A = this chain, B = another copy of it.
Amino acid sequence: MDKHALENYLLEQIPLARAMQLSVDAASPQALTLTAPLEPNINHQGTVFGGSASAVAILSAWLLGTARVQEEGLQGRAVIQRNEMRYDRPITGRFFATAEAAGGEDDWQHALDALRRGRKGRIRLVSRLVCDGKAVGELAGDFVLLS
C-alpha cells in the first residue's frame, strides 16, 4: 500500500488529522502505523492529551479498514461503532499508533467475504500506542465495513 497516497487521503478527508500533524509511518494490508508529534496534541501537563491519543488510535484503525477494503478492489468504507481505550503511561513526545485486526488475517477474510456478498462486514481492530519504545496505551474498536 502507498503510504503517501494514504496520508494525502487522510489529511484531505479529516481536517483534524491536519491539526494533529499526523503522518503515515508504515502501511501494509495487515497493519498501519500513524505518528504524531507532541506539540499540537499537548495538554496542561506537557504530555499528550488523552483525546488526541484516542483520536490518533481511532484514525489508524479507520484508515487501515478503509485501505484494506480498497486494496481488495471493493467499494466500501469503515465506520466505527464503539471503542475502549486504555491510557497506560503519560506520552511525553512523538508517538506511534499501529492498528491491526484483533484476530489476525482470519478476521479480515470473514469481514471482507461478508462485504463481497453485499452484507455488512464486522471487524475488531486494535491500535497500540508507543512512545520512546514503550507501550503507552491501547485502543480496541468495533468497526463495520459497508458498501
- The stretch of A9-17, A24-32, A99-107, A116-124 that contacts the partner chain: A9-17
As a 0/1 sequence over residues 18 to 52 of chain A, the CB contacts with chain B under 8 angstroms (1 = contact) are 01100000000000000000011111110001111
Kindly list chain B residues whose C-beta atoms are within 8 Å of the C-beta of A86. Answer: 81-82
Q: How many copies does the complex hold?
A: 2
Nearest chain B CB to A138 CB, angstrom units: 10
Contact indicator per residue, chain A 86-107, by CB within 8 Å of chain B (1) or not (0): 1100000000000000000000
Min distance, Cβ A42 to any Cβ of chain B, angstroms = 6
Q: Check B55 against A52 for contact (C-beta < 8 Å).
A: yes
CA A45 to CA B81, docked complex, whole Å: 15
Shortest CB-to-CB span from A82 to chain B, Å, is 5
Q: Is A75 an interface residue (CB 8 A)?
A: no
Q: How far is the CA of A50 from the CA of B66 in the complex (A)?
A: 14
What chain B residues lie within 8 Å of A51 (beta carbons)?
14, 16, 51, 54-56, 58-59
Taking Cβ atoms with an 8 Å cutoff, the residues of A that contact B are: 13-16, 19-20, 39-45, 49-52, 54-56, 58-59, 62, 77, 79-87
